[in-house]
Chains A and B, each alone.
Chain A
Amino acid sequence: EAGVVQSPRYKIIEKKQPVAFWCNPISGHNTLYWYLQNLGQGPELLIRYENEEAVDDSQLPKDRFSAERLKGVDSTLKIQPAELGDSAVYLCASSPHEGPDTQYFGPGTRLTVL
């Protein structure tokens, strides 16, 4: 069974530029999460989807971050415009059930904003 796929794995951009990350969850997993992880720290939830509905986006900075999960499968996380402080690893995870249960993480996208 294929795991959670994320792309790109690395991205370097200038500040104020836009950037997008893509996630393909494990087939059949209805719940999808986007996390932000700073170096050496634990992931922090940005948004959680149940199918195509964003059920928890309270931690998503909506002035510059947006996300979508069309058709309840793949998801895209966008930042526009990026700031220096956005440099981090962006992790996508999926789960077969509603709620945390067992989350399966992708390898993440490491973003560097110059």
Chain B
Amino acid sequence: TQLLEQSPQFLSIQEGENLTVYCNSSSVFSSLQWYRQEPGEGPVLLVTVVTGGEVKKLKRLTFQFGDARKDSSLHITAAQPGDTGLYLCAGDHGFQKLVFGTGTRLLVSP
């Protein structure tokens, strides 16, 4: 059972555009992670957010953890073709078990 819903499921944009991916749940998480996965490879961790309301920046990527620690967002500024991939959020309830989101597939065209 997927407890984390991501939206949109698929996003196709032009290079230079901005975008936001959302990760929502009715459950509270002790921490939340974002991963990016490229075809034929495993997911790679981008960031972990722990505190409600926390904002982390990684170059052109901005991650925010909701105040209630039930949701998160990923904002990409000036997307580049190298950002193409499957973006996954993953929540930790504190039981040493990650629950992954449904995924957002991003395609950035030159």
What is A's interface to B at a CB cutoff of 8 Å? 4, 40-45, 48, 55-56, 91, 93, 98-100, 102-108
Size range of the chain B interface in the assembly = 20 to 34
Of A98, A103, A106, A108, chain B has the most CB atoms within 10 Å of the CB of A103
Contact B40–A102 (Cβ < 8 Å): no
Q: Which residues of A contact B74 (CB under 8 A)?
A: none
Q: Are B97 and A100 in contact (CB under 8 A)?
A: yes
Instruction: For B9, list chain A residues within 8 Å (CB).
Output: 40
Would A42 and B102 count as touching, CB distance under 8 A? Answer: yes
Q: Are A42 and B103 in contact (CB under 8 A)?
A: yes
Q: Give the chain B neighbours of A43 by CB distance below 8 A.
A: 43, 88, 100
Contacts of A108 in B (CB 8 A): 40-42
Q: A91-B42, A99-B96 are in contact. List 19 more A-B contacts (CB 8 A).
A: A4-B42, A40-B9, A40-B86, A40-B105, A42-B101, A42-B103, A45-B97, A55-B96, A91-B43, A100-B33, A100-B92, A102-B45, A102-B48, A103-B45, A107-B40, A107-B41, A107-B42, A108-B40, A108-B41
B2 part of interface (Cβ distance < 8 Å): yes
Query: In the complex the two chains form, what is the Cα distance from A26 to B41 in whole Å?
Result: 16
User: Which chain A residues lie closer than 8 Å to B45 at the CB level?
Assistant: 102-104
Q: In the complex, which residues of chain B have a beta carbon less than 8 angstroms from the beta carbon of A56?
A: 96-97
Q: Are B48 and A103 in contact (CB under 8 A)?
A: no
**Contacts A100-B33, A102-B48 hold; do A42 and B100 have CB atoms under 8 A apart?**
yes
| Cβ contacts under 8 Å, B100 to chain A | 42-44
Task: Check B98 against A105 for contact (C-beta < 8 Å).
Answer: no
Pick from A100, A102, A104, A107: contact of B96, CB below 8 A.
A100
Contacting residues, chain B, for A102 (C-beta < 8 A): 45, 48
